[in-house]
Amino acid sequence: MNERVGRIESISGPVVRCSGIYGIKMYEVVHVGHEKLIGEVIEVGEEEFTTQVYEETSGVAPGEPVIATGGLLSVELGPGLLGSIYDGIQRPLPELKKMSGDFISRGLTVEGLDKKKKWHFHPTVKVGDKVVPGDIIGEVPETGIITSRIMIPLGVEGEIVEIVDEGDYTVVDTICRVKDAVGDVHDVIMMQRTPVRVGRPFKERVPMDTPLITGQRVIDTFMPQAKGGTGAIPGGFGTGKTVTLHQFAKWADAQVVVYVGCGERGNEMTEALEEWPQLKDPQSGRPLMERTVLIANTSNMPVAAREASIYVGATIAEYFRDQGYDVALMADSTSRWAEALREISGRLGQLPSEEGYPAYLGSRLAQFYERAGHMRVLGSDDRLGSVTICGAVSPPGGDFSEPVTQATLRVVKVFWALDKDLAARRFFPAINTLTSYSLYMANLEKWHKEHLGPDWPDLVREAMAILQKDQELREIVQLVGPDALPESERATLEAARMIKEDFLTQSALHEIDTYCPIRKTYRMLRIIINFARKMTKAVEIGATVRRILEFSVLDNIARMKIAPWDSFDGIMDSIEKKMEQEFESLFQELSMSSATPLDVQ
């Protein structure tokens, strides 16, 4: 009987070549060396195989043993995920700290879920019920926000012959027994183990016609994301990728958030770990961590673990999707993940493609983003869930023509382009509205009309036209100055300034402005566009822009963004009334100074 123990032949950083185990499988998990470092098989030959090790390999020597586990890299799914902080291979960081202090020791094996903690289980089925994979058999109130739904795992189908009473159980206690068609009885526990590299199955994809409201005005207005959609946010150093992605994770109206810090700087991840437990969910008022899973794999951690971290995050997101929840997955950043692919492929001696990245870079990115979607999930009932994936890209020098950015743009449908010039002018979020886009605009138009107003598409198109005209006029202003422009074009410049400064800029640090409800976004945009329309009309009948800039309502418009979430409607109503009064007064002045009465209606 082969004990499935081999030996190390050679070591090159995280890449370890081994021999002596026959029948080894691709992506099988192995324990490497005397310290039993965790690794995964990534190449199989006739007599040798290659492993990528998820821990530091310094001090490991050829000749040390390699033990095959027989299993694939998998995650544990069940109650206890929410509020957890994991490393790239689902080891809880708080538990690792208890075992090794501030610096993680090698070879530590920690289970992803606490097997001793008891959860209150409420059954929703009874003996005699027929079940199929994906059916919900009970609920666990995991946090004050999310109820974990316990599902029948894959491979189990038949009649329930035993179900426990309501009570407290661990995730490994048998809570249900199912007898299949041939008479075999299967024990069902609350925990599932799922391989990370293959997406969890579902019934079918359904149209994406509901927006993922992020609370960021520039995104929700000009390049909205759909629930189940894919998006990328590329930008150079200092343009605000991480802050913008943090804003998504904090305020998006997804029910569950999975945030993967993949190869980012440790101080940025530390900020998230310290800040998020203190934040309140805007919908429920409870701690935001009660609906969040954090995966922290910083740039000083072993590079191979980056490669696994986004798959771990995707699998956890799919688990909550299968329960019928809308999930937002944030990956920061996929460029660091691609760098891990490049390093490992280089050590394997694979033929490099553009800028040293492996030839399969594009297909790997596509495999990851294609795990997003709005799905009808497994189960007897008609249950829908979604996974929305947003990834940050860090192109060197802000060059969007580099391979990772281009490969990402080929597969995502929303593109938020961060502009270095905007960031240098302290304009945040530094998203360039003229180069960014969303391919979901048409899909979401019906929702916007029904939930905001039938004039929403016209408001957005008019605002975008003003910004485009402003860009053209700016080139002229640089040559001849603003005084050389006619009043109509000066009015366009002023309208564009209001859109940019009073609407698009948004402070992530302000307690109110950090999040903008979509209804407030609509009211703000409507006020500014109506002001621009009236200003254009006034200029046409003889008013000057200088006179219009004396309106006191402009100060009120500038402060709209800090109107409290629960009382902005009244504030907006008063602004609209004041705007009407001041323009009416101006029209009367113009009428009185004119030789003939003016029709200002």
- Of 40-49, 99-108, 127-136, 419-428, minimum mean pLDDT range: 99-108
**Residue 94, token pair as written in the block:** 């708080």
* Per-residue confidence (pLDDT) for residue 601, from 0 to 100: 41
pLDDT at position 278 over 90: no
Kindly state the average pLDDT of the residues 451-470: 97
Is it the case that residue 144 has pLDDT exceeding 60?
yes
Count how many Cα atoms sit within 13 Å of the Cα of residue 159 in the half-sphere of its side chain: 6
Question: What would you measure as the largest C-alpha separation in the chain, in angstroms?
Answer: 108
Report the phi/psi class of residue 542: left, alpha or beta, with left for phi > 0 and alpha for psi in -120 to 50.
left
Mean per-residue pLDDT for 180-195?
95
Characterise 538 by phi-psi region: left (phi > 0), alpha (psi -120 to 50), beta (else): alpha
Q: Identify residue 230 by its one-letter amino acid code.
A: T
Which two structure tokens, joined as six digits, stand for 159? 């009649």
Q: Tell which CATH architecture fits domain 1-72.
A: Beta Barrel (2.40)
Summarised one tens digit per residue, pLDDT across range 332-344 is 889 999 999 999 9
Tell me the pLDDT of the chain averaged across its residues.
Answer: 92
Q: Please say if the pLDDT value at position 223 is more than 90.
A: yes
pLDDT at 101 over 90: no
CATH code 3.40.50.300 region(s) in the chain: 221-434
Percent pLDDT > 70 in the chain is 98
Lowest mean pLDDT among 171-180, 265-274, 349-358, 480-489: 265-274
Mean pLDDT, to the nearest integer, of 18-45?
93
Phi, psi angles (nearest 5°) of residue 196: -90, -20
For residues 213-231, average pLDDT? 97
Helices marked H in 413-486: 420-424, 441-451, 456-480
Give the span between the Cα atoms of 556 and 563, in whole angstroms.
Answer: 10
Q: Which two tokens stand for residue 142?
A: 């995991």
pLDDT tier at 591 (50, 70, 90 boundaries)?
confident
Query: Is residue 312 a contact partner of residue 75, using CB atoms and an 8 Å limit?
Result: yes
Model pLDDT, residue 103: 80
Would the pLDDT of 237 be above 60?
yes
* Phi/psi at 274 (5° precision): -85, -35
* pLDDT the model gives residue 275: 78
Residue 538's pLDDT band (cuts 50, 70, 90): very high
pLDDT band at 480 (very low <50, low <70, confident <90, very high): confident
Residue 397 confidence class, pLDDT cut points 50, 70, 90: confident
Q: What backbone phi and psi angles, to 5 degrees, belong to 234?
A: -85, 150
CA distance 281 to 211: 19
What is the pLDDT averaged over residues 59-88? 94
Region 239-247 average pLDDT: 87
Token reading at 515? 């999040």
CA 549 from centroid of its chain's CA atoms: 41
Least confident of 2-11, 213-222, 322-331: 2-11
Average pLDDT for residues 380-406, to the nearest whole number? 93
User: Please, which pLDDT band fits residue 598 given cuts at 50, 70 and 90?
Assistant: very low
Query: In 481-564, where does DSSP find H-type helix?
Result: 487-497, 518-540, 545-548, 553-558
Pick the CATH number of 456-593 from 1.10.1140.10, 3.40.50.300, 1.10.287.1120, 1.10.1370.30: 1.10.1140.10
Q: How far apart are CA 313 and CA 593, in angstroms?
A: 68
Report the relative pairing of strands 185-189 and 174-179 from DSSP bridges: antiparallel
Three-state secondary-structure class, residue 147: coil
Confidence band for 301, pLDDT divided at 50, 70 and 90: confident
Q: What would the mean pLDDT of 74-85 be, rounded to a whole number?
A: 95
Using the predicted structure, report yes or no on whether residue 306 has a pLDDT greater than 90: no
Question: pLDDT at residue 217 above 90?
Answer: yes
- C-alpha–C-alpha distance, residues 486 and 489, integer Å: 6
CA distance 336 to 255: 27
For CATH 2.40.30.20, list the domain ranges present in the chain.
1-72
For 548-566, what is each residue's pLDDT tens digit?
999 999 999 999 999 998 8
Buried b (16+ CB within 10 A) or exposed e, 487-521: bebbbbbbbbebbbebbbbbebeeeebbbbbbbbb
Q: Confirm or reject CATH 2.70.70.10 for domain 221-434, answering yes or no.
A: no
Instruction: Compute, in degrees rounded to 10, the torsion defined by CA atoms 334, 337, 343, 349.
Output: -90
Q: What is the mean pLDDT of residues 284-299?
A: 87
What pTM was computed for the model?
0.93
Answer whether residue 507 shows pLDDT above 90: yes
pLDDT given at position 3: 67
Q: Which of 215-229, 333-347, 491-505 has the lowest average pLDDT?
A: 333-347
Within the chain, all domains assigned CATH 1.10.1140.10 are found at 456-593
The pLDDT of residue 71: 92
Burial class (CB in 10 A: 0-12, 13-18, 19+), 117: exposed
Residue 276: the pLDDT is 77
Q: What is the mean pLDDT of residues 259-288?
A: 80
Reply yes or no on whether the pLDDT at 599 is more than 60: no
Given the candidates 3.40.50.300, 2.40.50.100, 2.60.120.590, 3.30.70.20, the CATH classification of the domain at 119-190 is: 2.40.50.100
Q: How many residues does the chain have?
A: 601
Q: Quick one: pLDDT at residue 600? A: 43
Average pLDDT score over residue span 136-142: 96
Give phi and psi for 76, each to the nearest 5: -95, 125
* Tokens describing residue 2: 């082969």
CB 295 within 8 A of CB 259: yes
